[in-house]
C-alpha cells in the first residue's frame, strides 16, 4: 500500500516524504510545483499536476494502491491571503473538495491534514488548546478552518477518518542536509532573517512593534520541520489502526517575539543582521503559542528540537550551504 502526499515537493511535505521513506513506506507525491521543487522529493513516485484536475487525480488513484493521504498542498501565506482571497478559496477550499471527492471514489478512508494555528485567530488565552475559540483574523486561516470542517462532513457521510494537525510556525531543515526551506518569493521570518545574514538582503523588516507583547513585536511558537514530519507518521499510524478522527496542535509551547528570533539568529550566525521597524502586516494575530499536550498524550509525539537556537542553527546549516536554495545546485 502507498501513501499519497499532496504538496510533497514543498517545504514541510518534502520532509514528511523523507520521513516516510526512512520508515520504508511506499510514497506517491502529487505537486503542481507552483512552490515545490522536484529535487526536494527524495524518493517515491512524483506526479506533477494539480489537485483540481479531476482526470489527472483519477489516474493517480487508479495507478497506485493508496491507503492513506497526507494533504499539504495549499497556498499558505497570511499576507497574500489578505490581498487575494479568491486564490485561497479556489486552491485551498475547492482543491480539498476535489481531493475528497477522488478519495471517496477510490474508497480511501484516511487523511492527515495540514491545518494551522491561523484557525484560532487572536487567542483568548495562551497556550492555545484545541477546544479554544476559532475565529480567524485572515483569509488563509478562514480557508483552513473551512477545509477542516469540510473533511469532517466527509467523515460523517462517507467514513473518511481524519487527523487535522494544526501546526504553529515551521522552521529548520532536515539534518541530512539535502532538503530545506526554499519559497519564491520568500515571506517567512526565519529564512528572511538568514538571507540578511547571507548578505542577500540589507535588513530584516519587523512588522509592527506596537503589539500588546513585552517588546511590541508578534510572538510565535516555532517548531522544527522534522518534528512536524514525525507527527504525520504517528497520525497516519493511528488512523490505520482504526483511530477516530481528531484535531491536534503541534508546537513547542514556547513563544518567541520577532525581535527575539532576530537576536537568536545574530548569535547563531555571528552576523549583525540590521532590523527596521515597519508597519503591521494585515491579518497578523499578536501571539500564537500552542498547547500540544493532546498530541503528546494521544499520538505519543515528542518534539526533539525544542530550543529556538537549535531550530535556527538547523535552518542556517541549510541556507548557508544552499544560498540559492534548490536553484543553486
Ligand atoms: N510553513 C508553515 O509554517 C506552516 C504552518 C502551518 C500550516 N502550514 C500548512 O502546511 C502545508 C505545507 O506548507 P509549506 O510551508 O510546506 O508550503 P509549500 O508552499 O512549501 O508547500 C505546498 C506545496 O503544495 C503544492 N501545491 C499547492 N497547490 C497545489 C495544487 N492545487 N495541486 C498540487 N500541488 C499544489 C505547492 O507546489 C507546494 O509544493 C500548507 O498546507 C500550509 O498551509 C504551514
Ligand atoms: O519580514 C518579515 C516576515 C515576518 N514577520 C513577522 O514574523 C512573524 C512570523 O511570520 P511568518 O514567518 O510569515 O509566519 P506566519 O505569518 O506566522 O505564518 C506561518 O505560521 C502559521 C501558523 O502560525 C502558518 O499557518 C502559516 O502557513 C505560516 O506561513 C509574523 O508576526 C510576521 O508579521 C516580520 O516581522 N518580518
Q: pLDDT tens digits for the chain (329 residues)? A: 999 999 999 999 999 999 999 999 999 999 999 999 999 999 999 999 999 999 999 999 999 999 999 999 999 999 999 999 999 999 999 999 999 999 999 999 999 999 999 999 999 999 999 999 999 999 999 999 999 999 999 999 999 999 999 999 999 999 999 999 999 999 999 999 999 999 999 999 999 999 999 999 999 999 999 999 999 999 999 999 999 999 999 999 999 999 999 999 999 999 999 999 999 999 999 999 999 999 999 999 999 999 999 999 999 999 999 999 998 76
Contact 15, 179 (CB under 8 A): yes
Whether the complex's predicted ipTM surpasses the cut of 0.90 = yes
Domain boundaries, the chain: 2-171+223-250, 189-220+254-289+305-328
C-alpha 230/C-alpha 211 separation (Å) is: 33
Distance, in Å, from the CA atom of 8 to the CA atom of 13, rounded to the nearest integer, reads 4
Cα–Cα dist 141/134, whole Å: 9
Instruction: Name residues contacting ligand 1 (CB within 6 A).
Output: 7, 9-13, 30-36, 50-52, 72-74, 76, 91, 95, 114, 116, 167, 169-170, 183
Class in CATH terms, 189-220+254-289+305-328: alpha beta
Q: Which atom of ligand 2 is nearest to the CA of 170?
A: 20
Residues 6+ apart with CB under 8 A from 112: 68, 69, 70, 71, 162, 163, 165, 232, 235, 236, 239
Of the residues 120, 140, 222, 248, only one is catalytic, namely: 140
CA atoms within 13 A on the CB side of 100: 24
140 belongs to the catalytic site: yes
Cell numbers that stand for 139 in this block:
483569509
Nearest to 92 by CA among 52, 138, 133: 52
pLDDT of residue 329: 67
Closest approach atom of ligand 2 to CA 190: 12
Q: What is the rounded CA–CA span in Å between residue 74 and residue 100?
A: 14
Beta 256-257 vs 219-220: how paired, if at all? Answer: antiparallel
Query: pTM of this prediction?
Result: 0.98
Q: What is the pLDDT of residue 268?
A: 98
Show contacts of 20-27: CB within 8 Å, 24+ apart.
Answer: 20/44, 20/233, 23/233, 26/1, 26/2, 27/2, 27/3
pLDDT at 328: 73
Q: Is 2-171+223-250 CATH 3.40.50.720?
A: yes
Amino acid at each position: 500500500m502507498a501513501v499519497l502526499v499532496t504538496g510533497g515537493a514543498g517545504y514541510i511535505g518534502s520532509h514528511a516524504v523523507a520521513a516516510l521513506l526512512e520508515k520504508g513506506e511506499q510514497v506517491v507525491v502529487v505537486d503542481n510545483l507552483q512552490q515545490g521543487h522536484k529535487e526536494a522529493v527524495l524518493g517515491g513516485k512524483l506526479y506533477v499536476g494539480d489537485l483540481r484536475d479531476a482526470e489527472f487525480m483519477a489516474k493517480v488513484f487508479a495507478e497506485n494502491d493508496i491507503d492513506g493521504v497526507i494533504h499539504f498542498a495549499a497556498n499558505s501565506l497570511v499576507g497574500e491571503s489578505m490581498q487575494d482571497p479568491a486564490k485561497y478559496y479556489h486552491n485551498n477550499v475547492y482543491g480539498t473538495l476535489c481531493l475528497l471527492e477522488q478519495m471517496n471514489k477510490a474508497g480511501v478512508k484516511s487523511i492527515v491534514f495540514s491545518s494551522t494555528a491561523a484557525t484560532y485567530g487572536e487567542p483568548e488565552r495562551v497556550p492555545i488548546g484545541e477546544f479554544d475559540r476559532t475565529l480567524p483574523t485572515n483569509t488563509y486561516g478562514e480557508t483552513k478552518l473551512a477545509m477542516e470542517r469540510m473533511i469532517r462532513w466527509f467523515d460523517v457521510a462517507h467514513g473518511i477518518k481524519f487527523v487535522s494537525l494544526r501546526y504553529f510556525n515551521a522552521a529548520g531543515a532536515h539534518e541530512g542536509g539535502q532538503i530545506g526551506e526554499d519559497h519564491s518569493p520568500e515571506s517567512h521570518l526565519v529564512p528572511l532573517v538568514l538571507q540578511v545574514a547571507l548578505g542577500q538582503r540589507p535588513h530584516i523588516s519587523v512588522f509592527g512593534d506596537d503589539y500588546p507583547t513585552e517588546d511590541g513585536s508578534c510572538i510565535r511558537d516555532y517548531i522544527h520541520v522534522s518534528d512536524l514530519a514525525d507527527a504525520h507518521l504517528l497520525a497516519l499510524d493511528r488512523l490505520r489502526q482504526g483511530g477516530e478522527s481528531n484535531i491536534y496542535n503541534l508546537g513547542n509551547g514556547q513563544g518567541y517575539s520577532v525581535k527575539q528570533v532576530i537576536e537568536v539568529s545574530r548569535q547563531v550566525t555571528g552576523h549583525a543582521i540590521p532590523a527596521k521597524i515597519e508597519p503591521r502586516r494585515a491579518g497578523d494575530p499578536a501571539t500564537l503559542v500552542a498547547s500540544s499536550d493532546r498530541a503528546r498524550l494521544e499520538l505519543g509525539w515528542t518534539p526533539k528540537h525544542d530550543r529556538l537556537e537549535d531550530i535556527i542553527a538547523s535552518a542556517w546549516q541549510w541556507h548557508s550551504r544552499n544560498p540559492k536554495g534548490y536553484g543553486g545546485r
